[in-house]
A and B are shown apart, each in its own frame.
Chain A
Amino acid sequence: MTCEWRGKLDPYVDTELPGPEAAELEEHLRVCPACAADALQRLQLKRMTQAAARNAFTPRPEFRLKIENLIAARKKPRWASAWLPKLGVAVALIALSFLSAGLWLQRSQRRQAVGELADLHVATLASANPVDVVSTDRHTVKPWFAGKLPFTFNLPELQGTSFKLAGGRVAYLGQNPGAQLLFDAGKHHISVFIFEDRNELARLGSGAATTRSAFNTETWTEGGLRYFAISDVEPAAIRELHSLLASAH
């Protein structure tokens, strides 16, 4: 025999039956042993199934860790992958701008110093009295600077070379006194400036170059002195004079 309530037993066991209907069914269960036994069996099976199957399979701890790391990777490395490259780029850009500014400043200072020396050279050539000591004799020119400069230097014997000493004068670069020696190379003139190699002159570096006004230059240091040669002669001639001056040191 089946009861009209049988169809409601599952929703009742699942607590899905609306309140009034559930109360009505409970009234029925008190008077219907068959339905009461059926409801009890359904509840029993549900509880037993749950107890058996709920924790039948548990995840391995290493698998749980793997998933946790997978989710964590979306948290941290995302941040890192998002910000670290930007941070790196920002740092690189700042460093680059400092480097560029430094290089620009250095180039600018070098240009300025070379420009001033070129001006001195041109002004000397344009002057009616280009040198204050007029002599081809190194033993006259060198002593002339004594007492005028805070340093001394050696001059080479130019006999038998293509160069001839024309004389010298005191020049100033950045308020520092130095010697300006004028050499003749054929019909060309070469100015060789000698200053104490201070920090502000170190920016000149060393080596040969061509100025914007097409003068060829060469600069080097020797015995704590900074030499700077400038002329419209070929770079090779300046290099040769450089070697001669260096050999006199």
Chain B
Amino acid sequence: MADDAHTAESFESLAMPLFSSLYNLAHWLTQNRDEAEDLVQETCLKALKGFSSFQPGTNFRAWIYRILRNTFLTSRTGLKVSATVPLDPEENEAVLPVTADTPESLFLAQADQQTICQALAQLPLHFREVILLGDVEEMSYQEIAETLGIPMGTVMSRLSRARRAMRELLSTKVQGASR
């Protein structure tokens, strides 16, 4: 029982500093406050229960984010969203360059935070989550691979394609707004 108290204390010291990030990530995944709160609560309970399986010294952030993501994917909303994600034929395709003739500097200059958030929210789940982990949380490729349970090469190609999709969405939005 004293071990339980010690476990809860160790868990608290590792998890609570990540609380805001966890919630933000949960909200980006669920796109709903109530569902995000449920997701974070369930994640915390699962993580606390399985904390003994966490090896001290390894990446706690990747560990708890993985729990959050898996919990989301098995939730009603998660199942619905993941069922609509098409198979990805480009998964292992070479990284594509930015189209040379796209005047990105122009649309980036015009894109405000709200437009960027709208574009991110519209991205398919597998693109959105890799951008959230890579660009927003600034996770390394290795951490992203651990969190998503995919190879590093897939992380790189998926991140590249997600950013491309993001640029295209932003471009469309900015052009649409300027017309």
Contact = CB atoms under 8 A, between A and B. Distances in A.
Interface of A: 1-3, 6-7, 9-11, 14, 16, 34, 37-38, 41-42, 44-46, 48-60, 63-64, 66-68, 70-72, 74-76, 78-79, 82-83
Contacts of B108: 41, 44-45, 48
B135 A46 contact: yes
A45 B19 contact: no
Interface in B92-120: 94-95, 97-98, 100, 104-105, 108, 111, 113-114, 116-117, 120
B167 A45 contact: yes
B167 to A, nearest CB: 6
B25 to A, nearest CB: 9
A67 B20 contact: no
Contacts of A63: 23, 37, 40
A44 B41 CA distance: 34
B27 interface: yes
B12 interface: yes
A9 B96 CA distance: 10
Interface of B: 1-2, 4-5, 7-9, 11-12, 15-16, 19-20, 23-24, 27-28, 33, 36-37, 40-41, 44-45, 48, 94-95, 97-98, 100, 104-105, 108, 111, 113-114, 116-117, 120, 131-132, 134-136, 138, 140-141, 156, 159-160, 163, 166-167, 170
Given A41-B108, A48-B108, A59-B40, A2 B97 contact: yes
Contact of A67 (B19, B114, B131): B19
Contact of A71 (B15, B97, B113): B15
A75 B19 contact: no
18 contacts: A2-B97, A6-B95, A10-B156, A10-B159, A14-B141, A41-B105, A41-B108, A45-B163, A45-B170, A49-B166, A53-B116, A55-B24, A56-B28, A57-B27, A57-B36, A60-B37, A68-B12, A79-B5
B113 to A, nearest CB: 4
Contacts of A14: 134, 140-141, 159
Contacts of B105: 37, 41, 44
Contacts of A75: 4-5, 8-9, 12
Nearest to B30: A57
A58 B141 contact: no
A38 B8 CA distance: 47
B166 A45 contact: yes
Contacts of A78: 1, 4-5, 8
B163 A10 contact: yes
B20 A58 contact: yes
Given A34-B100, A52-B116, A53-B117, A71 B48 contact: yes
Contacts of A54: 24, 136
Contacts of A70: 41, 44-45
A52 B113 contact: yes
A60 B20 CA distance: 10
Contacts of B8: 71-72, 74-75, 78
